[in-house]
Structure 1
Amino acid sequence: MSCTTRNEVLELAKSKLDDLVQLTSDLIKIPSENPIGTQRDVVDFVKKYLSEAGIACEEVGCNPEHPCVVAKIGKEEGFSVILNGHVDVVPAGDRNQWDFDPFSGEITDKCILGRGTSDMKAGVAGILFAMKTLVEAGVELNGNIRLHIVSDEESGGEYGTQWLCANGYAENADACLVAEPTSHKTIEIGQKGKIDLILKSYGKSAHGSLAGYRGENAILKLGKVLEHVDMLREIEGKYGENQKQALINSKIIAGEKNGAGTGDVIDHVSANVGIIKGGTRPNMVPDYCEAIVDLRLPIGVTIEEVEERIKAMIAKSGVEGVEYELGCQMLGNYTEIDAPIVEAIKKYAEELWQEEVLPAYQWASSDARDYRQKGIPTIQFGPSNTVGIHSYNETVDIEDVQKAGLIYILSLCDLMGID
């Protein structure tokens, strides 16, 4: 059929919402656990779906175990939007902890059940549905829509979004929508950076029976340093005038989701001592100990600022023989609150849900950073039930899936000049 207006496209999409629900279910039925499984079957499914929709696509990437799928509709000139989604999911884990088969894709009267429903196969289904609907509608796009389906987000993205951005697939884009789970009340427009801090303590070995008299216990030395880890949490982010409203929104959302008093997680460094390794045997004074601290950096905090605080933390402990190194390093990143992609999603999310939708910053990190690092205004917005994500009994509400699909389509119509 041929549609010429946004309302005609919307009516076409509404008539096919059952297809969107079924597509989500079909994706869930294909196990694609990462790192223990394979994404081959789900990637092949996506390619077949696009092909049957009349959308030319290509499998690309540097690792055949973690392939990507790219596609494009529209014309070369004009506004260019990237739609990004990952088809890998975290492992289902202990099946006895599930109330249902994690790969059943069962559709109830209100929900779709299974691993990856919220994170993020419902979002993937939404952007695939949006592209197919626009092609079927036959509308003329005043620009182009580019699809990035990746299969390595849950293990860091080295073979997925990171690779696509490093190899020319994101050039000349004007906006990017990552369909990660956010809930319909939030548009993620920024997120914290990340540093893996590795602290290393060196001591002197001796027989355990002489501990306190001979040798230097590396574990105890490192413990004295870790007593001052709160010094890192005192580092605050730096926000401009145009970021104040998003920061206010973010603190409200953080408090609602994580409990009263957690709003400062947005604009302060967080530090989690996640791993400590040291010693060889109980009867030996340990001569080496190592701790890995997960640091999350708010917007405006530099690597140099964090390093200065690490040095001060070690100095304050009063011990010698403690060194550090920095592993993964990523800065906080954001998109302007008035970017066209933000305003379009906000407009239609509020219209369909009849609720205020808040652009806000996130306390974790995701593939959105890779697009923002290339200067592309990028947001995250996708259907989700937060309970069950990376845990057991993951679900997504059918209403959320359907409205997300319609919001994607209406927003793309705006950005593509379809009135």
Structure 2
Amino acid sequence: MEHDKILDELFCQIEEREEELLDLVKKLVSFQTPSPPARNAYDAQQYVALLLKEVGFHVDQWYLYENDPVVVGTKKGTAPFDHYSLIINGHMDVASVEDSEGWNTPPFEGIVKDSYIYGRGVADMKGGLAGALFAIKLLDENGIKPGGDLIFESVVGEEVGEAGTKSCCDRGYSADFAVVVDTSNCEIQGQGGVITGWVTIQSPKTFHDATRRKMIHAGGKLFGASAIEKMMKVIEGLKELEQHWAVMKTSAGFPPGSTTINPAVIEGGRHAAFVADKCALWITVHYYPEQHYEEVIEEIEEHIKNVAKADPWLREHPPTFIWGGSSMIEDRGEIFPAFSIDEKWPGVQVLKRAHKRAFQEDVKLSMSPTVTDGGWLSEAGIPVVLYGPGTLEEAHAVNEKLSIEQLKKFTKSMTAFLLEWYQKKR
């Protein structure tokens, strides 16, 4: 009963301080952090660092790239050995904004209109960051302290596959549970994984265009080939594997055929007067959480190597592979590991109760059709869920918007979650 009374009072404060919550969203939106081009998050991250310090966090920060720091705040628990610890994670970078886009309002001002707040990043995911920060501040102002350690990670690079969250894990930050407050329409979600790769076909010799007759017609006796034409066999092989996956692989929470291999970019040839001696294919692979990306890589490579063995020229000059990368900007590659959720996790149970208290309805558990940094937390052995305001239809959209009512309910839900989690013992 005392818990309910405290929560009722906190919920009333959120309603009364709606303008303050919206002002926080507007402030975060005002920092222009589109990625690409990136390298622009310093001021925004210093603002978050200041907010965390004001409510008792020790702040650690380092540069992922120039002018793009990662900020991690730690608030020590009153009895950390007896209580559960928690990570709240979110990214400060937002999708790019092009001059040609038809925005009806300035994208970096946070305009309130017709029960929505508009601006780049309100749905993905500065609304989630603001709601979580506001909930933490509210509890602190009311003298409510965490029993276990509370870690707040404001990272950069998520939009372009730069693993700011991975750098937090590599630095040693861990907890009993993690909530990534990214776009999920306030559903508790897991996700599939994504990895990009480059498949390259390279001829050891470069031939003049005038020699083509000798390598493609009877009696020419020139053992040569166009790398572009040979790549067509690889693309067909990838399509066959994708179709095989669609038939043979399923995963709860995903529509059939969600394991895809997209031939996204092709680069090849040097000049019209030459037979193409090199061709590179950039692919994007979506896979289910039942597999690790290393298994997926092995499966693709094995299949393409078998395709190559069936071709006399490719058998002698098989494709090579480069997988993943640390940045779509720096090295044109990325990895987003997959993760599942277990309803039996204590954190999920607490979050389900918190959501029902705030939204007056049961929360949906689902699998996100996109990817977030949550996979890196799972890779580090941390039970993690995705739970944040905003819809995928609004994420990255022109005239991106977020429901103010959903923002308030999310803030209430996070407040209820933290209030119970602060007190939860191991």
1:222 and 2:228 matched: no
Change (3 A) 1:318 1:16: farther
The worse-fitting range, judged by mean Cα deviation, of 192-201 and 98-107 is: 192-201
Q: Amino acid of the residue matched to residue 165 of structure 1?
A: C
Cα distance, 1:237 vs. partner? 11
SS in structure 1 opposite 2:407? Answer: helix
Q: Is the 8 A contact 1:59 1:67 kept in 2?
A: no
Instruction: Note the alpha carbon deviations across 1:318-363, whole angstroms, 9 max, x for none.
Output: 6512312131166533232321222222333344334453222234
Give me the whole-angstrom Cα distance separating, in 2, the residues matched to 1:310 and 1:187.
37
CA distance in 2, matches of 1:103, 1:404: 22
Instruction: Decide whether aligned partners of structure 1 residues 201 and 224 sit closer, same or farther in structure 2, where only a CA change above 3 A counts.
Output: farther
Partner of 1:110: 115
Residue 371 of structure 1 and its aligned partner are, at CA, apart by 0.9
TM-score (norm 2): 0.83
Specify which of 305, 309, 313 is matched with residue 311 of structure 1. 305
- Please tell me whether the aligned partners of residues 129 and 181 of structure 2 are also in contact (alpha carbons under 8 angstroms): yes
How far 1:216 sits from its partner (Å)? 1.8
SS of 2:120's partner is: coil
Q: Distance in 2 between matches of 1:337 and 1:236?
A: 27
Cα distance in structure 2, aligned partners of 1:280 and 1:415: 60
The residue type equivalent to 1:31 in the other structure is Q
Extract unaligned runs of 5+ from structure 1: 252-262
Q: Could you tell me which amino acid in structure 2 is paired with residue 280 of structure 1? A: R
d(CA) in 1 for partners of 2:6 and 2:359?
22
The Cα shift of 1:191 comes to 2.5
| Secondary structure of 1:347 counterpart | helix
Q: Output one character per residue of 1:36-55: Cα deviation in whole Å (capped at 9) or x when no partner.
A: 2411111122123334x433
Partner of 2:68: 66
> Deviation per CA, 1:285-308, whole angstroms, max 9, x where unpaired?
111111111112212332433332
Length, aligned pairs only: 393
Query: Which residue of structure 2 lines up, in the alignment, with residue 264 of structure 1?
Result: 256
Corresponding letter in the other structure for 2:171? N
Aligned pair in 2 of structure 1 residues 21, 394: CA closer, same or farther (>3 Å)?
Answer: same
| Secondary structure, aligned partner of 2:178 | strand
Shift of 1:196: 1.7
* C-alpha contact 2:237 2:303 (8 A) present in aligned 1: no
Report SS of the residue matched to 1:227: helix
Structure 1 residue 405 displacement after superposition? 0.8
Q: Report whether the alignment pairs 1:297 with 2:287.
A: yes
Structure 2, gaps ≥5 residues long: 216-223, 325-334
Separation of aligned partners in 1, 2:336 and 2:247: 14
3-state SS in 2 of match to 1:67? strand
- Summarize the Cα distance change of 1:274–1:11 in structure 2 as closer, same or farther, 3 Å threshold: same
CA distance in 1, matches of 2:411, 2:302: 46
Partner of 1:324: 320
Query: Which of 392, 401, 411 is the aligned partner of 1:405?
Result: 411
Distance 1:43 1:71 in 2: 11
Give, in angstroms, the shift of residue 122 of structure 1. 0.4
Residue 232 of structure 1 is matched in structure 2 by 241
- Structure 1 residues 273, 153: closer, same or farther in 2, change over 3 A? same
Provide, for residues 390-418 of structure 1, a one-character-per-residue CA deviation record: whole Å limited to 9, x for no partner: 24221111111111111111111222227
- TM-score, length of structure 1 as denominator length: 0.85
Q: How far apart are residue 5 of structure 1 and its match?
A: 3.5
Deviation per CA, 1:198-220: give whole Å up to 9, x if none.
Answer: 23243753333453434521101
Identity, in percent, stands at: 25
